[in-house]
Amino acid sequence: MTDTSVPAASGVRQFWRRLRTQRAALVAAGVVALLVLVALAAPLLTAVEGQDSTTYHPSLVDSARGGVPIGSLGGANADHWFGVEPQTGRDLFARLVYGARVSLGVALAATVVQVTIGVTLGVAAALGKRWVDQLLSRFTDIIVAMPLMIMSLALLAIVPSSFPRPVLVALVVGLIGWGNIARIVRAQTLTLKELDHVLAARLSGWGTWSIARRELLPGIAAPVITYAALLVPTNITVEAALSFLGVGVKPPTPSWGQMLTAADVWYQAAPQYLLLPAGALFVTVLALTVLGDGVRTALDPRAASRLRIGTGRKRESKTTEGGAA
């Protein structure tokens, strides 16, 4: 059982205090903040450079040699900071920063959809009648059994292509990937609903909805936030993978995964065409994963300190803090 007796306000403060003590998580948070800033300021950044992400520059690629960027370093110069895309001559810097928008935007939107569905169905299963629980739980089992990548890939086949692609990818990934959240929320709600303050609310004649909103949601926040923080990097990878396969975000909208589709052909002439999107993906997913781990440690210090037992390293500060919670 978790520390549900801790009032919400001090819980938030405690969370920040514990997050701040982890150096790796702090660095990761900084990187994530920077990436979000780049994504938000994409139009500004490209305006400073004086380019945009969709204009073709046929004069900058050598059509006689299959569209290799002209000049050394893949056509990088003062006008095109990171060079240009092979064949089309589109500005690589602009595509990279707009790609950050797609990557983070799609992943966040998908996570919001997953959390919304997962929390709703999880709470409904735990509070509903027995047959409701049975139905929802079996449905969740089936959803969990279907691989996220495969189902997203397959679903993208049947949606009309007129639909805006990034929205579509976020929706599809969101509609399939909620299974584990629903399971976690159901389990947590089942535990919570037997606690005294919830029973008291029920005896006072509160409706199911008020109980769910005011007594249960604060209690399931911690596990949901923990899991959602780890879902974001997963969703980024899935979007990149789908776009890499050519079924996700489609040109002219740039996406890091999509940029890598043809990168292997051009790696000698324009290595940054491979290295930049690959590096961007790696840094983003790594930073989000480390941040997610940090969030988990801050919300559930006991889980983290358990793993340090027996290492012979100093652990007194962490354990006392966890024990006091």
Partner 1 sequence: MSGFPGFVLRRAVGAVVTLLAISVIVYVVFYVTPGNVAQITCGPRCSPEQVDQVARQLNLDDPLFLRYWHFLQGLVAGQDYSTGTSVQHCSAPCFGLSYQSDQQVTQLIWTKLPVSLSLVSGAMVLWLLLGVGTGVLSAWRRGRFSERVLTGVTLAGTATPVFVIGLVLMIVVCGELRLLPFPQYVALTDDPEQWAWNLLLPWLSLALIEAAAFARLTRASMLETLAEDHIRTFRAYGVGERSIVGRHALRGAFAPVIALNANNVGSAIGGAVLTETLFGLPGIGQELVHAVNVVDLPVVVGMVLVIGFFVVLANAVADVLYAVADRRVVLT
Determine the size of the site formed for partner 1 (CB under 8 A). 48
Using CB under 8 A, pick the residue from 86, 177, 223, 233 that binds partner 1.
Answer: 233
Contact predicate 128/149, CB 8 Å: no
Of 98, 89, 82, the residue nearest 45 (C-alpha): 98
**Do residues 25 and 290 lie in contact, with contact meaning Cβ atoms separated by under 8 Å?**
yes
User: CB-wise, 10 or 268, nearer to partner 1?
Assistant: 268
| Smallest gap from residue 90 Cβ to partner 1 (A) | 20
Cα 86 versus chain centre, distance: 30
Q: Is 23 in the site for partner 1 (CB under 8 A)?
A: no
Residue closer to partner 1 (CB basis): 202 or 250? 250
Contact 156, 222 (CB under 8 A): no
- Structure-block tokens of residue 45: 């950044």
How far apart (Å, rounded) are the C-alpha atoms in residues 29 and 15?
Answer: 14
| Residue 282 interacting with partner 1 (CB under 8 A) | yes
CA contacts within 13 A on the Cβ side of 25: 17
Cβ neighbours, 10 Å, residue 228: 19
User: 19, 151, 217, 225: which one contacts partner 1 (CB under 8 A)?
Assistant: 151
Q: Does 158 bind partner 1 (CB under 8 A)?
A: yes
What length does the chain have?
325
Q: Is residue 64 part of the contact set for partner 1 (CB under 8 A)?
A: no
Rounded to 5 degrees, φ, ψ at 6 are -70, 125
Which of 60, 117, 259, 263 forms a contact with partner 1 (CB under 8 A)?
263
- How far the first Cα of the chain sits from its last, in Å, is 12
**Residue 264 in the binding site for partner 1 (CB under 8 A):** yes
Residue 49 Cβ vs partner 1, minimum distance, rounded to whole Å: 26
> Which DSSP symbol is given to 84?
B
Q: State which residue, 84 or 247, has the beta carbon closest to partner 1.
A: 247
Contact string 291-310 vs partner 1 (x = CB under 8 A): ---------------xxxxx
Of 58 and 246, CB closest to partner 1: 246
Stretch near partner 1 under the rule CB under 8 A, chosen from 33-41, 66-74, 95-103, 146-154: 146-154
Other CB atoms within 10 A of residue 141 CB: 11
- Looking at this protein, which amino acid is placed at residue 258? Q
317 binds partner 1 (CB under 8 A): no
Which range of residues in 73-81, 94-102, 108-116, 149-157 is near partner 1 by CB under 8 A?
149-157
For residue 235, give the DSSP letter.
Answer: H
Would you tell me which residues interact with partner 1 (CB under 8 A)?
138, 141-142, 145-151, 153-160, 233, 237, 240-241, 244-247, 257, 260, 263-264, 267-268, 274, 278, 281-282, 285-286, 289-290, 306-313
